[in-house]
């Protein structure tokens, strides 16, 4: 079964890490990305680059930035193959971010989870694993 690992972090968290801690976190992301159970993954740009879109009363409303002011922001995702929830939790526990949640992926629009729609861009790993910020602690 496929599970989505949703990876959350506190803004600025990486800057609080020492160079050794940052390198260890990056190594863990590399290990997760190299795990054959990892189907696809991606890192998101900062929450400040978000555009929130809501439809209310037939009108599309757009707002720059995240929809809500929160302590943690969604920083990335990883789609994995796991035998069961316990295995998905084991993989989520390896994520060095502030927190990660796991949720079973479901079929949508007649396409199995993780299967790209015809003509849709495929999920590459060009921005995965997350790159450690440049500069030192």
- How do the pLDDT tens digits run along the chain, 137 residues long? 999 988 888 877 888 889 999 889 888 888 888 899 999 888 888 878 888 888 989 999 888 876 566 677 888 888 999 999 999 999 888 888 768 788 888 865 444 444 544 444 444 444 555 655 555 44
How many C-beta neighbours within 10 Å does residue 104 have?
13
Q: What is the CATH number of domain 2-104?
A: 3.30.70.1060
* Distance linking the first and last C-alpha atoms of the chain: 40
Q: What does the pLDDT read at residue 88?
A: 92
Domain boundaries, the chain: 2-104
Residue 86 tokens, joined = 């316990």
Q: Give 82's contacts (C-beta < 8 A, 6+ positions apart).
A: 1, 2, 3, 37, 88, 91
Q: Which residue bears the tokens 């929809």?
A: 67
- Angle, CA of 98, 88 and 120, to the nearest 5°: 90
Cα–Cα distances (Å) from 103 to 39, 89, 135, in that order, read: 15, 10, 34
């Amino acid at each position: 079964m496929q599970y989505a690992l949703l990876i959350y972090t506190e803004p600025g968290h990486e800057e609080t890490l020492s160079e050794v801690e940052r390198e260890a976190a990056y190594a863990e992301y590399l290990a997760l990305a190299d795990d054959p159970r990892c189907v696809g993954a991606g890192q998101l740009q900062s929450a400040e680059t978000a555009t929130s879109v809501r439809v209310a009363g037939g009108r599309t409303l757009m707002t720059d930035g995240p929809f809500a002011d929160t302590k943690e922001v969604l920083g990335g995702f990883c789609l994995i193959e796991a035998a069961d929830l316990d295995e998905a939790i084991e993989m989520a526990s390896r994520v060095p971010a502030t927190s990660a949640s796991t949720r079973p992926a479901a079929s949508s629009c007649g396409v199995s989870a993780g299967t790209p729609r015809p003509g849709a861009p495929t999920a590459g790993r060009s921005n995965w694993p997350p790159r450690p910020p440049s500069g030192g602690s």
